[in-house]
Amino acid sequence: MIRIENLVKSFRVRGHRKVVINNLNIELPSGRSLALLGRNGAGKSTLLQIIAGTLRPDSGRIVSDGSISWPVGFAGSFHANLTGVQNIRFIARVYGVDSDELCDFVRDFSELGNHFYMPVRSYSSGMRSRLAFGASMGIHFDTYLVDEVTAVGDASFRAKSRELFKERMKTSSAILVSHDMGQVKNFCDAGVVLADGQLDYFEDVQEAIDAHLALIARHRKR
């Protein structure tokens, strides 16, 4: 269960306050893989970061009865001057998991080769994402937050990422942001649509997709 209580988040844009999350109250159930849908700029990634605890809201709080990942694929927390393996060992200590096991998993999965032992500042954005995805999937979380992560890498790596994610979903929940409706239907069984700072929950993911597409169509007609 993830309960969102009186959540507000805004940003200053060209001297004006833009509210992206507006006094949001909703409880998201456990045991479901939820699609988080909404138009570009609706605040989906912002909401994921608040749920993960990597971004502070203006007010309100997130309450959960289980562990929540950071946004899968998010590499912004890596220390650029440390090597990949040093960053992974640090993450292992923070989350209380075996550092050798996590390093072995991430090294093998990420396919970074010798770059795994080089400073992260030398990585491309794709290499950072591979490192972050491997670190996320190498730790068991009750809920995984996913922001388009399976788009990382070449076709072979994307396929491997999708299979690993499916495996994790057998025992965990997820909140997935994706613009690929095929991917949404493949991974998710329910959905929420973010619009005007509020979330609408749908038990059936196709209903969520239909509501999302209807919102886009109405916006285009304006």
Cβ neighbours of residue 80 closer than 8 Å, sequence gap 6 or more: 119, 120, 121
Q: How many domains does the chain have?
A: 1
* E-assigned strand segments in 57-214: 59-64, 68-72, 143-147, 173-177, 190-195, 198-202
Please write the tens of the pLDDT for every residue from 75-133. Answer: 667 899 999 999 999 999 999 999 999 999 999 999 999 999 999 999 998 888 889 88
Q: How far apart are the first and last CA of the chain?
A: 37
The pTM score is 0.86
- pLDDT score, position 163: 87
- pLDDT score, position 183: 84
- pLDDT score, position 153: 66
Q: Does 164 map to a domain?
A: no
- pLDDT score, position 154: 73
Q: Does 84 map to a domain?
A: no
- pLDDT score, position 4: 96
Q: Does 27 map to a domain?
A: yes
- pLDDT score, position 160: 86
Q: Does 52 map to a domain?
A: yes
Q: Does 208 map to a domain?
A: yes
Alpha helices in 138-192 (DSSP H): 155-168, 181-187
- pLDDT score, position 200: 95
The residue count of the chain comes to 222
- pLDDT score, position 156: 83
CATH number at residue 17: 3.40.50.300
Residue in 151, 29, 134, 17 with CA at minimum distance from that of residue 75: 134
Rounded-to-integer distance, Cα 103 and Cα 110, Å: 10
Residues of the chain with pLDDT below 70 are 73-76, 149-153, 222
Owning domain of residue 219: 1-67+177-222
- pLDDT score, position 152: 62
Q: Does 186 map to a domain?
A: yes
